[in-house]
Structure 1
Amino acid sequence: MNPQAHQLWTAPRWALALLLAVLGMLGPFSIDTYIPAFSGIAKALGATPVEMQQTLSAYLFGFAFMNLFHGALADSFGRRPVVLWSIVVFTLSSAGCALSHNVGLLVFFRLLQGMSSGGGMVVSRAVIRDMFPPDQAQKVMSQVTIYFGVAPAIAPIIGGWLLVHLGWHSIFWFLVAVGIALWTANYKLLPETLHVTQRQPFNARNLLRGYWQLVSNPRFFLLALASGVPFNGMFLYVMSAPAFLGDLLQLAPTEFFWFFLLTISGIMGGSFASGRLAGKVEPRQQIRYGFTIMVVVSLVNVSLNLLFPAHAAWALFPIAIFAFGWALMVPVVTLLVLDLYPERRGMASSLQACVGAAANGVVAGVIAPLVMHSTRSLALASLLMMSVGLVAWVFLRKRWPQTGRRPS
């Protein structure tokens, strides 16, 4: 924690949470605003469904790759420069997407978007831990998730409206405007939270030592799996939204927002509960609550889809409850990751995000196309994603039983 934290931010705690949540909006806006325009973009560019799926995969793999470096750069040069430069690249690549006249160019600029959009999300986690002790950090992390949850709820609505009234190019010009607004806000308001005494040397030897320190620690990878892979239990449905909502549930594009609204409500509700529980129950207990909810609702979801034809009247609610359970436990797991090596919080945040983003890329590019045309397959795949995280957490608790215990 920065020893001068109380001097760096004198406004209310919720205001910093809001600013950091705005940074995290780049990711969901980059994905969710253009999902309703999939068919429109494909028709305009003469792209096949597989090529359109590549625009998602390129974004997600670019996001995962560059996340290896955002945190390391922030540990060496400070949090502010990394945030500001990543927003600049995001804004320019969004303009490139808007000007693309074939799917190859769109894939390329989506790759650049992915490589730049993770900077704010990765660095914001480190900023929180720079500024607050553990219990307060959990509350702020939960507040960030609550505010952040608004973005995916409204992004597809905005994207659908822009597509209908102004064409698909306007979606990416909208992202250009978002980038400009975010850069201005962070240039004026975001303080540098990394104390000068805590900066890491930026050289190959020190970076390699830091990466090795993290990747050779099995606790780090188990925690990263416990937080990142279960997310795909609901992200799978997001990536399959056109087929799941339109083809299987027979919803019109104007009705897609119900899915996003319910799912994001689950995330916001779980995040609110997580903040309320901060300091009242042990972290390991809160993680157990989250996994219990996800296990039960996943089994119910599989059972319902095996026994009954899928219908929008009930098929969306298990995903929202799953999202609640995930959001209840993920702020706690994230803080456990950041506190493994306090001097390398940026790098730890980077690698955690990289593990999650790599899993997202596999889901978007491989798993979703295989299962998106069957609600039963979707439900089983969601259960499998959650089970990977559950097994990682159970193994971690058995091997290192002190994990998640509050210091006595």
Structure 2
Amino acid sequence: MTSRTGPSARRAGLLITAILASLAMIGPFTIDTVFPAFASMGRDFDASTAAMQQVTSIYLISFAVMSILHGPLSDTLGRKPVMLTGLGLYVLATIGCALSPSLPVLLAFRALQGACAGAATIVSRAVIRDLYSGPEAHRLMSQVMMIFSIAPAIAPVAGGLLLAWGPWPIIFWAIAGYGVAIAVATAIVLPETLPPQDRQPLRLASIVAGLLEVARHPGFGRLALATTFVFAAQFVYIVSAPIMMVDLLGKGEQDFWILFAPLITGMMLGAWLSGRLAGRVDTSVLVDRAVLAALIAAGLNLTLMLTVPTLPWAVLGPACIAFAVAIAFPVLQLAMLDLFPHHRGSAASLATFASLVFNALLAGAISPLVTGSLTVLALSSTVFAVVGAGFWLLHRRLESVAGPAVSP
């Protein structure tokens, strides 16, 4: 889409950016707002800390599984119908969570939450690429990420404040209200960015063919793995927040801001810098530098936890890692979408699927194993950063003969 100028166009652009960021915020609000309630939910359901981790992992698993379908459906039906249907079902699932009488029932509704939430968050990434290309798309993706970055900082703090007003179901009622508000804003303001003539046939064979085309592309696989592991260096701290803050640092339900405030500050600054550098620095070089910065930050974090595993040092390293990751993340997301101009929804789906499958493993299986101490947690973050950097360097090497590793 070509650029437009003038005050009205700028206002419309800012409003669309805010709505896209709000759609992206659904994930962090759904995951992080509940963290402060884990202790009270565990008491009500007579569930252990490890069992409560499944409240996060089951959401991520169902999100990942259904993410395969949301993007391809938006390639055939249009972006808005898929997003609005998903939002409606998400609100109903969230109300079910609030009314759950037991942990198994809660987990069932969390699974439904995850299955529906991706319709908004995944498809919104394709909308960005529908609207703009090149540096403009990079800047918009960075702006969305910068606003989105506020959510993980606000969410656990908001969850703690809501617990001061009522029992844990109040958190889910608040999230349901957020879902309703975003659905209304999407229906009224957000344009349909995929015209009928550009849509794929609504046939199972066509949907599967699009997914297979994306999945078989070697460059896409390398970019998806690089993104997944580099982001995991930061995300392991997010999913481990309940154990890290309560068990390792001895803090309470109102203290999650101690981790999330610096973590999200790093994300916001990194996304801001990424947007500022759009069109000024070659995108491949920008990712090179961001990945190197992530490795340095992970090494610093591990060194601090080996020497002074206390506050404030325990949150400094994760903040630096988040800063570096946020510089690279918008570029890598757009690079995967640009590989498939006629299957952007499918590309967005599979990119999210790869990341979420691993994030679900982080939440449900890996996090309980690596949170025995702050040092082990920092070591796991470093390993993820190294693996992600390895996949990026492999991609750079293999693509150097064919052309740029990332589209400008």
Alignment of 1:283-298 (within 5 A): 283-298=283-298
Which string of whole-angstrom CA distances, capped at 9 and with x for unpartnered residues, describes residues 220-251 of structure 1?
11111111221111211111112212222233
Does the 8 A contact of 1:60 with 1:358 survive in 2? yes
Q: Which residue does 1:319 correspond to in 2?
A: 318
Find the aligned partners of 2:203 and 2:383 in 1 and give their Cα distance. 40
- Report the alpha carbon displacement of residue 253 of structure 1 after superposing the two structures with TM: 2.7
Q: Which residue does 2:120 correspond to in 1?
A: 120
- Report the alpha carbon displacement of residue 405 of structure 1 after superposing the two structures with TM: 5.6
Q: Which residue does 2:55 correspond to in 1?
A: 55
Question: Counterpart amino acid of 1:24?
Answer: A
Q: Percent identity?
A: 38
Q: Which residue does 1:67 correspond to in 2?
A: 67
Instruction: Please report the TM-score for the alignment, with normalisation by the length of structure 1.
Output: 0.96
Question: Counterpart amino acid of 1:354?
Answer: F
- Please, which moves more after superposition, 77-86 or 41-50? 41-50
- Report the alpha carbon displacement of residue 149 of structure 1 after superposing the two structures with TM: 1.2
Aligned to 1:316, what secondary structure does the other structure show? helix
Which string of whole-angstrom CA distances, capped at 9 and with x for unpartnered residues, describes residues 26-77 of structure 1?
1101011100100100101222223212111110001101110110010000
Find the aligned partners of 1:98 and 1:104 in 2 and give their Cα distance. 13
Alignment of 1:78-227 (within 5 A): 78-227=78-227
Does the 8 A contact of 1:83 with 1:120 survive in 2? yes
Q: Which residue does 2:330 correspond to in 1?
A: 331
Alignment of 1:30-45 (within 5 A): 30-45=30-45
- Report the alpha carbon displacement of residue 123 of structure 1 after superposing the two structures with TM: 1.0
Find the aligned partners of 1:189 and 1:15 in 2 and give their Cα distance. 8
When residues 22 and 94 of structure 1 are mapped into structure 2, their CA distance, relative to the original with a 3 A threshold, is same
- Please, which moves more after superposition, 358-367 or 234-243? 234-243
Find the aligned partners of 1:339 and 1:193 in 2 and give their Cα distance. 16
When residues 405 and 80 of structure 1 are mapped into structure 2, their CA distance, relative to the original with a 3 A threshold, is closer
Question: Counterpart amino acid of 1:339?
Answer: D
Q: Which residue does 2:23 correspond to in 1?
A: 23
Find the aligned partners of 2:321 and 2:294 in 1 and give their Cα distance. 5
Q: Which runs of 5+ in 2 are unaligned?
A: none
Is residue 2:358 matched to residue 1:384? Answer: no
Find the aligned partners of 2:65 and 2:266 in 1 and give their Cα distance. 29
Q: Which runs of 5+ in 1 are unaligned?
A: none
- Please, which moves more after superposition, 149-158 or 274-283? 149-158
Find the aligned partners of 2:376 and 2:200 in 1 and give their Cα distance. 46
Does the 8 A contact of 1:283 with 1:405 survive in 2? yes
- Report the alpha carbon displacement of residue 4 of structure 1 after superposing the two structures with TM: 11
Runs ≥4 residues deviating over 4 A? 3-6
Question: Counterpart amino acid of 2:287?
Answer: I
**What count of residue pairs does the alignment treat as equivalent?**
403
Q: Which residue does 1:346 correspond to in 2?
A: 345
Question: Counterpart amino acid of 2:343?
Answer: R
- Please, which moves more after superposition, 204-213 or 291-300? 204-213
Does the 8 A contact of 1:5 with 1:131 survive in 2? no
Question: Counterpart amino acid of 1:33?
Answer: T
Aligned to 1:305, what secondary structure does the other structure show? helix
Q: Which residue does 1:358 correspond to in 2?
A: 357
Does the 8 A contact of 2:259 with 2:315 survive in 1? yes
Find the aligned partners of 1:253 and 1:4 in 2 and give their Cα distance. 46
Question: Counterpart amino acid of 2:144?
Answer: V
Question: Counterpart amino acid of 2:202?
Answer: F
Aligned to 2:237, what secondary structure does the other structure show? helix
Find the aligned partners of 2:49 and 2:258 in 1 and give their Cα distance. 24
Does the 8 A contact of 2:399 with 2:405 survive in 1? no
Aligned to 1:361, what secondary structure does the other structure show? helix
Which string of whole-angstrom CA distances, capped at 9 and with x for unpartnered residues, describes residues 356-405 of structure 1?
10110011111100011211110111011112211111111111112336
- Report the alpha carbon displacement of residue 128 of structure 1 after superposing the two structures with TM: 0.8
- Please, which moves more after superposition, 61-70 or 240-249? 240-249
Find the aligned partners of 1:30 and 1:255 in 2 and give their Cα distance. 19
Does the 8 A contact of 1:5 with 1:130 survive in 2? no
Question: Counterpart amino acid of 1:119?
Answer: A
Question: Counterpart amino acid of 1:324?
Answer: F
Q: Which residue does 1:394 correspond to in 2?
A: 393
Which string of whole-angstrom CA distances, capped at 9 and with x for unpartnered residues, describes residues 93-139 of structure 1?
00000010000000000001111112211111111111112110000
Aligned to 1:255, what secondary structure does the other structure show? coil
- Report the alpha carbon displacement of residue 290 of structure 1 after superposing the two structures with TM: 0.9
Question: Counterpart amino acid of 1:337?
Answer: M
Find the aligned partners of 2:297 and 2:119 in 1 and give their Cα distance. 33
Aligned to 2:251, what secondary structure does the other structure show? coil
Aligned to 2:309, what secondary structure does the other structure show? coil
Q: Which residue does 2:404 correspond to in 1?
A: 403
Find the aligned partners of 2:51 and 2:258 in 1 and give their Cα distance. 27
Find the aligned partners of 1:378 and 1:158 in 2 and give their Cα distance. 26
Find the aligned partners of 2:176 and 2:313 in 1 and give their Cα distance. 37
Question: Counterpart amino acid of 2:404?
Answer: T
Find the aligned partners of 2:282 and 2:193 in 1 and give their Cα distance. 28
Does the 8 A contact of 1:63 with 1:118 survive in 2? yes
Which string of whole-angstrom CA distances, capped at 9 and with x for unpartnered residues, describes residues 313-333 of structure 1?
211011011001000011111
Question: Counterpart amino acid of 2:117?
Answer: S
Question: Counterpart amino acid of 1:388?
Answer: V
Find the aligned partners of 1:278 and 1:14 in 2 and give their Cα distance. 18
